Structure 1
């Protein structure tokens, strides 16, 4: 398939474009690849993974803060389950060393958002201003 047809395919049938691009890559048909859209898709995939990581990290940190500082017995079990769920999801994402390193670079920034949300939800002001949690998984 020509490069022009592949580019048109991207606009009209994304799933067929994916299958065609995969086949072209497998066959090392680099001359007919739709490079522009392929690069765009790879960038979007990386950004999507980072966004997902930040979202799970935010929820984990917020729940850790609430669990540690807000004594609502009826919520403790729910928060424990949520903490475990967010840890599982983060562990899956951070199997990629690149995403694990990214997590370490955004930890403090995301903690600030989690801190703001925990304060708003609990109306408490007892939280540490610097993230007290360490995110470490063994590979």
Structure 2
């Protein structure tokens, strides 16, 4: 492997990421720690950890979006139309539980991310309303999440069908 300088290695991070990975991996295997692009490597490791949390936050956002639709827009689609929201909530919970079983350290982190999930849910609600020919401003969707984590993960909407 051709030797590259630390500056060239840092440039590779943006220009040829797979090569940057290969070179850093080789440097680590050779224990040439002083040549490793530590700044970008640490950032990548941090991003790897956030990826799984971000996936869970996305599923939590789906749950919050559909809970809110169920509570506030059943009259627009009817209870039968809301059944897909119930399925979506249940499917997202199943996916979150699977992720938490695989990565238990995410359990505490996810419960602290309800507001981040709500930001995503809120934007999806606004898009849904606009696509349904409604003005989101007419519905006063709250800035702060109206649900807590426990409710998002356990509320039984099927019981509310009756």
- Of structures 1 and 2, the larger Rg is shown by 2
Instruction: Kindly state the Cα deviation for residue 8 of structure 1 after the two structures are TM-superposed.
Output: 3.0
| Alignment match, 1:97 | 104
Normalization by structure 1: what TM-score? 0.64
Compared with structure 1, are the counterparts of its residues 34 and 103 closer, same or farther at alpha carbon in structure 2 (3 Å cutoff)? same
Consecutive aligned runs of 4 or more in structure 1 exceeding 4 Å deviation? 110-125
1:38, distance to aligned residue in structure 2 (A): 0.6
Unaligned runs of 5+ residues in structure 1 are none
Number of aligned residue pairs: give it.
133
In 2, the alpha carbon distance for the partners of 1:3 and 1:84 equals 52
- Structure 2 counterpart of 1:78: 84
Distance 1:23 1:101, change over 3 A: farther
Q: Structure 2: any 5+ residue segments left out of the alignment? A: 130-135, 155-162
Corresponding residue number in structure 1 for 2:60: 57
Report matched runs for 1:16-55 at 5 Å: 16-55=19-58
- What's 2:133 paired with? none
Question: Are 2:61 and 2:117, in contact at CA under 8 Å, matched by a contact in 1?
Answer: yes
Deviation at 1:34, TM superposition (A): 0.9
Contact (CA 8 Å) 2:70, 2:85: kept in 1 or not?
A: yes
What is the TM-score with the length of structure 2 in the denominator?
A: 0.57
1:92-131 equivalence runs, <5 A: 92-94=98-100, 95-107=102-114, 109-110=115-116, 113=119, 114=121, 129-131=146-148
Q: In structure 2, what is the equivalent of residue 9 of structure 1? A: 12
Look up the match of 2:160.
none
Is the 8 Å Cα contact of residues 65 and 115 (structure 1) preserved in structure 2? no
Relative to structure 1, the CA distance from residue 6 to residue 82 in structure 2 (aligned partners, 3 Å threshold; closer, same or farther) is same
Instruction: Please report the RMSD computed on the Cα atoms of aligned residues, expressed in angstroms.
Output: 3.8
**Alpha carbons of structure 1 residues 66 and 36: separation in structure 2 relative to 1, 3 Å:** same
